[in-house]
A = this chain, B = another copy of it.
Amino acid sequence: MTVGVFGLGRFGSFWASLLSERFSVIAYDRDPDIKPPQRVRRVSLEALGNCPIVFLCVTIRAVPEVLQVIAPYLAKNTIIADTCSVKVLPGKWLLEYLPQETPILATHPMFGPESAKDGLEGLAIMIDPLRLDARQAQFWEDVFAGLGLTVVRMTCEEHDREAAYSQALTHFVGRSLYRIGLPETPIATRWYKKLHSVAKQCVRDSHVLFEDMQTLNPFAQEMRRRVVQGFIDTLQDLGDPSTQQLIQIDEKIREEPHDRCSE
């Protein structure tokens, strides 16, 4: 069986490489200079659209454009599987921009090259068979389980609700701490070392992915509001004179939506 990958960036190359341990993998990238991983063969859009499944490994914001690029080349039964870090909006785009008959599998591998470098055991992949028959959904669930992954079936909405914390919060906090320059010190505690490693890890992902996680997940704004509230409460405990101002910000965040989900 041949598996297709659209996009050979950091995640796409990693994902293609992982799949190539089980399948014959072909890939497309609009950049002709990008070098595919070992065992992965670069092909044209025509060839990609003819294989049984194509995983989209592109930035979230690029999905609508990529769907319009690939749609004309899709064979009738080619499954399109996205791998986006948010799911509600890409799910809507998949159903909207793809031909009526194209089967659709929403997936989110909850890991990247860094967290997977010591093996896949204990790592999770979320799947939502948005438009896929039960037999094919089970087939892909078994494939992912066969790789050693924990497969979690949930709706795109459940995913975004939980990922607003498990992912968007982690990156929001990690990036905010990283930029103030957490020092290395011989008196680091075990817990500071953990926090430091989280901050260092978060900035390995692209800033575009970070922005998309924060602004294209419909639950991320509420998460940020709650994080600000958490800091307000802590500063209040400490009798910090700036608490009143933080409460005003909090009200501002409640009033003015600034994510792009509502655009």
Query: Which residues in A have some Cβ–Cβ distance to B below 8 Å?
Result: 108, 110-111, 115, 123-124, 126, 150, 152, 154, 159, 162-163, 165-167, 169-170, 172-180, 182-183, 185-192, 194-195, 197-198, 201-202, 207, 211, 214-215, 224, 226-231, 233-235, 237-242, 245-246, 248-249, 252-253, 256, 258
Q: Is the CB of B192 within 8 A of A170?
A: yes
List 10 A-B pairs, minimum CB-CB distance, nearest first. Answer: A176-B230, A162-B185, A245-B249, A180-B230, A166-B192, A115-B190, A176-B234, A242-B252, A180-B226, A242-B249
Task: Give A254's nearest chain B residue, CB to CB.
Answer: B242
* Oligomer: number of copies: 2
Contact A162 B187 (CB under 8 A): yes
Least CB distance, A94 to chain B, in whole angstroms: 19
A117 to chain B, nearest CB (A): 11
Q: How far is the CA of A126 from the CA of B188 in the complex (A)?
A: 10
Q: Which residue in B174, B177, B211, B233 is a CB contact (below 8 Å) of A191?
A: B174
Cα(A232)–Cα(B258), bound, Å: 15
A260 to B215, CA, bound (A): 40
